[in-house]
Structure 1
Amino acid sequence: MENNIILDKSKAFAVRIIKFYQYLCDEKKEFVLSKQLLRSGTSIGANARESKNAQSKADFIHKLSISLKEADETAYWIELLIESGIVQENQVHDLYELNIELIKILTSIIRTSKKGGRIN
C-alpha cells in the first residue's frame, strides 16, 4: 500500500472517531451529537479515499473539498460537545488538534492542485 499522508491520517482519525463515538454512547449516553460526529469524522477519509480514483483534476479537487467540509463540520460537533458540557476540553484536545491538522493538509492540497501543482 502506498504511503499517502492524507489517506493515512484521515483513516487513523476515523478510527479514533469511532472509538470516541463508542465512548459517548456507552459512558455519556449521548446519541444525537455523537452520531453526527461519527458521520462527518469518518466521511473525511472516505472522500479523501475517493479522490484517489478521481476522473479529472476537477473531480479530485471536488472530492477533497467535500472532505474539507466534513472536517470543518467535525470540528463543529466537537466544539458543541465541549460547549454543552458533555465532554471536557481536555478529553478531546488531541482529537480536535488532529482534526485541525487534517483541515490544514486538505486546504494545502486543494490550493496546490488549483494552482496547477502535482496532485499525486
Structure 2
Amino acid sequence: MVKDKIYDLEERTFKFAMACRKFVQSLKYSIGNIEDGKQLVRSSGSVGANYIEANEKLGDKDFYFRLKIARKEAKESGYWLRLLQDANPENEITIEELINESMELRKILSSIINKAK
C-alpha cells in the first residue's frame, strides 16, 4: 500500500484494488487462495466502481444505494483478506495493511453516507 494517505477517494479505492490484485498474485498456489483471491479481486474492485457510480448519481436514492454497496464491498474485502490471512500467515504485514485500508474505506464511506443525509 501507499504510505501517504490519498484524499482523492476515487484514486484511493483504485490503489486499494490494485494492491489487492498484486497481493493475490503473490500468494502460493492452493484452491483456497485461488477461490478467496478471486472473491477479493471482485469485491475490492467493486468498492471503487460503486463509488464512481455514486458520483454519477441519477438521484439521491441512487447516490445512497451506490455508496452503501461500496461500503458493503469494502467490508466484504476485509472478510476475504481475513480468510487469506489465516491461510497465509507468512504474509501477515501485507494483509494487515490491506485489512486496515478496507476498514478505513468503510469508515470513510459511512461518514459520507451519514453526512449526506
Q: TM-score, normalised by structure 2?
A: 0.84
Deviation at 1:95, TM superposition (A): 1.2
User: How far apart are 1:4 and its partner, in Å?
Assistant: 6.4
Give % identity: 37
In the alignment, structure 2 segments of 5+ residues that lack a partner are 1-5
Secondary structure of the structure 2 residue equivalent to 1:80: helix
Q: Which residue of 2 aligns with 1:109?
A: 112
Structure 1 counterpart of 2:39, one-letter code = Q
From 20, 45, 48, the counterpart of 2:48? 45
Decide which of 24, 46, 69 is 1:66's aligned counterpart. Answer: 69
Counterpart residue type for residue 109 of structure 2: L
Larger radius of gyration: 1
Which of 6, 13, 16 does residue 13 from structure 1 map onto?
A: 16
Distance in 2, Cα, partners of 1:6 & 1:91: 21
Distance, in Å, in 2 between the alignment partners of 1:78 and 1:31 is: 12
Residue of structure 2 equivalent to 1:34:
37
Letter in 1 for 2:107: K
Deviation at 1:60, TM superposition (A): 0.5
Higher helix proportion (structure 1 or 2): 2
* 1:70-94 deviation digits (Å, cap 9, x = unpaired): 00000001111122x3244323111
C-alpha RMSD of matched pairs (Å): 1.6
1:5 CA displacement: 2.6
CA distance in 1, matches of 2:114, 2:44: 22
1:20-65 per-position Cα deviation (integer Å, ceiling 9, x unaligned): 12112xxx11311100011001110010011111111111110010
- Number of residue pairs aligned between Structure 1 and Structure 2: 108
1:6 and 1:106 in contact (8 A); partners too: no
TM-score by length of 1: 0.82
